[in-house]
Structure 1
Amino acid sequence: MLDAPLQDMPGDAELVEQARAAIAALNAKYAHDPFLFLHRARVWNEGEGAWIGRERKRGKLADLNAFLRSGARTPFGVVEGSADGLAETRYVIVLDADTRLPRDTARALVAAMAHPLNAPVLNQDGSRVAEGYGLLQPRVSAALAPENASRYQRLCSGEPGIDPYTRAEHDVYQTLFGEGSFIGKGIYDLEVFERTLHGRFPDDRVLSHDLLEGCHVRSGLLDDVQLHEACPARYSDDVGRRHRWIRGDWQLAGWLGARVPAAGGRRLPNPLSPLSRWKLFDNLRRSLVAPVLSALLLLCWTQLEGPAFWSAAVLAIFFLPVFFQALIRLAGKAHDVTLRQHLLNWAQDTRSGVVRATLDVSFLPHEAWYSLDAIVRSAWRLGVSRRHLLAWTASSLSRSSTDLESNWHNMTFAPAFAIGTALLLSFANPPALFTAAPLLLLWFLSPVVAWWISLPVKQPAPAIDAGQRRFLHTLARRTWAFFEDHVGPEDNWLPPDNMQEHPAPRVAHRTSPTNLGLALLASLSAWDFGYATTADLLARTRATLQTMGRMERHRGHFYHWYDTRSLAPLLPMVVSTADSGNLAAHLLTLAAGLEQLADRPTASGRALDGIGDTLDIVDELAGAGLGPLR
């Protein structure tokens, strides 16, 4: 639900009812009502001038915790599902909408939290966890880029880094001090979380609450447990979320002093450890890197002798880490990787690192501008207006335009800064203009670069010559020959697992769910290649599906192995999740293919192509004297 001028907007009720009905359907399908839907009504926020969810995500967690501990339903206008047993909840796993939780990850998170060595121990006044962990943060890696991903998304997805917000792969704090940093995705001890944080923070003040909560509850990094998160497709989208992060970080500057803001307008002694305060300060320092480097380059060109040397020194900040990382990777060849493959991987990784560093240099003025803009906005809102301190747009909703004009408009400062610097140097230090010219040109064109790397990349179709095409088609025809010969009435139209040719021909009359799916798709593929008619495809598919309907199953799942002649499950009678998943994917693909049959022409050149593939094999066998096709 977005911020709105009214508490209830048109379409809200329908959306909530759709979600409620979906949860009710899931609970009807599965025993013990495992699913619960909680919907918070909007509340009026004077600072935002709109109806919003109370305290954003922080308020959402607080309301959820109160519901779990005491059953408090006041914030929730709709509750669908049973709340029985929730009072015994020990841990809560919190994720963002774009975070993917791999299978068994939740189990690993709970196991780590329940380990005795990780048990949280509060300090004397109960204001923070002094030992153990009240919260564990798993490693968050970049998800694989989709097929039509932009260059920027592929660059970010190519290798997880050490971004403190999105890709916490390595945490220097955990390594040196045994304490990590919470980035909003992890598992926390419900009781400890509420005891240390309930009523501690002032309302309408805390935007980036994750790190602050992790400092109180003491967060640990689980390096061997991994979540996946998609990277932004556009550079402008990434900039938008970083701008929000910087605003949130500077709104926490009040927690660096001896006394901190608290609920009810009070100021209390700061319970945070020196390490936690350093983490907060380090975020502020990081937001000043781009402005300081931009100012440093300007100072080098206008005030210092040897501008080329000083320019190279500043650029080394970007490129030296890439150089040292390349050396480390070059020396770190795995024993099971060939030298050629190692060098290819090393070259690709090094190229990506150089490209990332070059982009960082290209966008330096723009990043300096939006960093200063976020800092000034935070200072104004904290010290003067007291409004829009909770201004936030979810990443999934902040999709920027991909046209070139929008990029020029959003990044106006960078080309303006380049032109202004060139004019300044032409009067103040003309010789330095030659040194600065490459960077100034790069900055001037940075909107074009941002636009280009944000465009979706169309993958070129592989170039296959006539010889390769003939090889692939004859291979397909030989593969179909196996299914054509062995999937028949003798085996109840089920595919045998394999056929042994030596020392004597023998067919393994057993099959698995994966084999069933492959046989069904083989018939569909044979129709595509022209090896089978539409009637053949439908007849074979119908016969196989009818047999599958007679086979014994466990809760809808096929067993791992069956005898193809008796249809009896083979011992041990187990269900394979891999087999079930493969069969499900094959059936979905088969359904999509069969639905397209009605729109395909009855007569086409496929049959002639199929005959041609068969004749090619006959020609090969005749020339080699190898006997028949089958």
Structure 2
Amino acid sequence: MLRSDLFSVEQLKQHAVMLAGQHAIDPYPRPDRLLPRLADNADVLRAAYDVLTVGTAQAEQRTLSGEIWLLDNFYLIEQQIILARRHLPVGYGKQLPRLQSGSLAGFPRVYDLASELIAHQDARVDGDNVSAYIHAYQTITALTLGELWAFPIMLQLALLENLRRASLNVACRREERNAAMVWADRMLAAAEKEPKLLIQLLAEFAHADMPLTAPFVEEFYARLQAYGPAMAFVQTWVEHKLLEQGITATQLSEVSARNSAANQISMANSIGSLNFLAAMDWRIHVEAYSVVEQSLRQDPMGIYDGQDFATRDRYRHAIEDIARSSGRDELAVAEKAIALAQAASQQTGREDRSAHVGYYLLDRGRQRLDLAMGCHFEWRSAARRMGDHLRLSLYISAILLLTLLISLILRVPLESLSPTDWRIWWLGMVGVVSISALAVSLVNRLITLFMAPGALPQMDFSQGVPDAHRCMVVIPTLLSSPQEIDALLEAQEIRYLGNRDSNIYFALLTDFRDAAEQTSPEDALRNSSAATNAGASLASPFPIARKCSGVTFRGSSSG
């Protein structure tokens, strides 16, 4: 049941601290239980939808608000089920820390965390309660990066399970109303045709021992009251059975109305929360919640903060790999990388590359960090790491080996020629050059097939280039005619308009073409054309141009 006492934000934070103290992690591998759970929830939701679809097709039945919520939003639920299956590949749950005990033993810890949030917030998820909840939990136990990335998926699964509970409740109410409709119609038909059989039918109804639930009684009373006093004794019998249970029809109706309203609110909250999860950018939240991220931001060189998200994410993945290989905590790995960078900063200065934390995560300092953390690699990882150190040697060796192999194959048709024949040496030299070119192309092709290219770390200049990284783009060219000068200036303007930033400058580094003499009659014409174009540029919003010692510079007007 994903419904419990509603908590305020402060109570929710206290509950998160309590959970962090109770969660015990299972050290042994277990089968993945998330996908079977999702499949079961999907089957129940589909069955409930089918029950409501058949019921609403009957014109004489009323459609309640909870049923309308499910029918109108079932397309969204199906979309969320498809997305959840896509985001949950086989074995995904095995990579997350799993609970050792409790009602969700064997499930990922973060799934229980998400389920508790849904239960105590009545399926209402927003940025405030999620942030307070996770921060409070991590005051006791830090979540791994994998758990932080998985948290929205777990929320999605928990919301689908809550919808399954609410939908099952709505479907059961519909089936109980259907049963009431059947019995009431049978009694009304008997009263109209043979009133004497009504007593016999009431005895059959009593023998059937139908549960007198609120939906059943409401629908049963509504149909019998429409017929009039003839059914009064049947209503009296039902009221007597209810009194035996210690409740009246009015009280039962009031309890049912409250439960129905609560069920409708929970369903509406679940739908709204699914929409919220689909629209939110979880990358921002991961970096805000991650203790590893906070540690990496202590980079002595101060570069980490200014890098783009993809680069920072590569650093965090490196932390995960080292933690997995060493059996150590991710935070301990990050702190050790920072400690190595700080030690290098004190020895060589903040400007040395070894003072950057990325040097120990992605560059040549990685081996030092691995040794410091006591990493133990599988043979595949060890072979890959050895290949990283010998990549040039392996690349050249592959080309030489392929060249030799192809040469030996092509040597077979030339066995009839004598080794002293000059033609075989000529063909050999030409053939080796041609074959080596073919071998280079084949090796390059094979490398691209089996090895993914690695992106270089990048800075984040999405908000503009900061002053510390201002730059000038210089295009070297030769001047030959006034028309060419016009074309160069137009191309320069296009570059500027495509990269309008106050800290990006553009320049043309120009010279005249080679000539037999130091000056020629055309030089004056070219100088005049360049000066005219430079003057026109000064009066335009396009960056200024000025000619200085045969070099034409183009940069922003602030320069």
What TM-score comes out, normalization by structure 1 length? 0.19
Higher strand share: 1
Higher helix share: 2
